[in-house]
Amino acid sequence: MRITHNSNHDLVQNSILQSKGRMEKLQREGSSLKKINTPSDDPVAAAKILQMRTEKENNISFRDTAKLAEAYLGNSDNALSQMTDLLIRAKEIAIGQSSGASSNEGTRFGISEEVSQLFKQAISIANTRVAGRYIFGGYKTNSPPVNDKGNYQGDDGEMMVEIAKDVFINMNVPGLEAFNSQPRSSKDYREGQVEGRIFEDRGPAGVDADGNQDIEFQPRSEYEAIQGPQNANVFQELQRLRTGLLTGDLDSIRSTLDQFDQLIDKVNAVRSQIGSRLQGIESTSAAMDRHEITNAQLTQNLEDADLTQVMADMANEETVLRSTMSVSQRLLQPTLMDFIK
């Protein structure tokens, strides 16, 4: 076989270039501590990394939402717990004043003042705000949901928010729902303040089979179920109690008792609903935390360079380069010329 000095040179050059090329890659990995620096380093992993980055970004947003929903629901719960106390007090008054034995005009008059206070307090509870937004007004977050006559001014909008991918919860309870034992037969509902829309439509937009967007809001069976003829309204009952006290109509006072019971049950039911939503948020957040840790680990596996490995490879490569060079020196140096006079 003929070996020419040109093929020697090519061989040397190639070995050195290859070695330097590998070193450059290691250098890039070492300096960025990432093994994937361009999509072509590992196209599939690169796409995966981007996907996980989006998930991470989304999770930050979900977390914020969950915090907000928590604040909303927590405040609603507080307000409703005050409302329960208030109703219990009203019921005590009604019990105390419902029999002729324990009540006379003088005490009833004095106590009607307290009921007036309760009424005002109930309105202020209904008009609770979180960060400037009325939480019991449904979608009408900008104006007080209950006016000073105790009439509901809000609507029955429920704000659905996404607290994890595809996990939606409603972060508010409309006053209509919380302050009426039978919202569908309530005066507020009948008088059209709320236009009945939430009962027909609600929920995020869906995509139908053809892939067209189409906002068709689903009917809410939850509300349908609570239909009943007899409604009790917090403000109406308080007013009725007060009027009964002022006029000495003991029958009327007695009749509020049952209504207050219904209302207390209702408010407690709403509170337990809120409680389960809060629990839902908590478990979703916990699941998200776990998911995020797994994600972070996976991302790390995909894109982070193993420093020890890089260093070991680098040392190895250095040795290769050195030996290539020293061997090359011996290969290239001598020609026959050197040995002829």
Which residues from 155-194 bind other proteins, rule CB under 8 A?
155, 157, 159-162, 165-166, 168, 171-172
- Of 211 and 229, which CB lies nearer to other proteins in the complex structure? 211
Using CA atoms, how far apart are residues 65 and 36, in angstroms rounded to an integer?
A: 33
Q: Does 6 help bind other proteins (rule: CB under 8 A)?
A: yes
Q: Which of residues 156 and 237 has its CB atom nearest to other proteins in the complex? A: 156
**50 part of the interface to other proteins, by CB under 8 A:** yes
The site map against other proteins for 228-247 (x = CB under 8 A) is --------------------
**Rounded to the nearest whole angstrom, what is the least distance from the CB of residue 58 to other proteins in the complex?**
6
Which residue lies nearer to other proteins by CB, 61 or 294? 61
Size of site (CB under 8 A) for other proteins: 72
Nearest-angstrom CA–CA distance, 285 and 282: 5
Residue 306 CA: distances (Å) to CA of 32, 52, 53, 69, 300: 11, 20, 20, 41, 10
With CA atoms as reference, report the closest residue to 94 among 257, 265, 236: 257
Contacts (CB under 8 A) with other proteins, residues 53-112: 53-54, 57-58, 60-62, 64-65, 68-69
Min dist. Cβ of residue 329 to other proteins (A): 17
Give least dist CB 162 to other proteins, A: 6
User: SS3 of 222, please?
Assistant: helix
Q: Does 202 bind other proteins (CB under 8 A)?
A: yes
Residues 6+ apart with CB under 8 A from 240: 252, 255, 256, 259
Binding pattern for the stretch 111-150 against other proteins, x by CB under 8 A and - elsewhere: --------------------x-x---xxxxxx--------
CB-CB contact of 209 with 203 (8 Å): no
Nearer to other proteins, 61 or 99 (CB): 61
Q: In terms of CB distance, is 213 or 251 closer to other proteins? A: 213
Under the binding rule (CB under 8 A), the answer on residue 213 touching other proteins is: yes
Q: Does 325 bind other proteins (CB under 8 A)?
A: no
Instruction: For residue 39, state whether it binds other proteins (rule: CB under 8 A).
Output: yes
CB-based burial of residue 223 (10 Å sphere; 0-12 exposed, 13-18 middle, 19+ buried)? middle
Give least dist CB 42 to other proteins, A: 8
CA 62, CA 54: separation in Å to the nearest integer? 12
Which of 299, 150, 158, 318 has its CA nearest to residue 238?
150
Q: Rank residues 57 and 318 by Cβ distance to other proteins and give the closer one.
A: 57
325 near 16, Cβ under 8 Å?
yes
214: left (phi over 0), alpha (psi -120 to 50) or beta: beta
Q: How far is the CB of 101 from other proteins (least distance, A)?
A: 49
Whose tokens are 């689903």? That residue is: 218
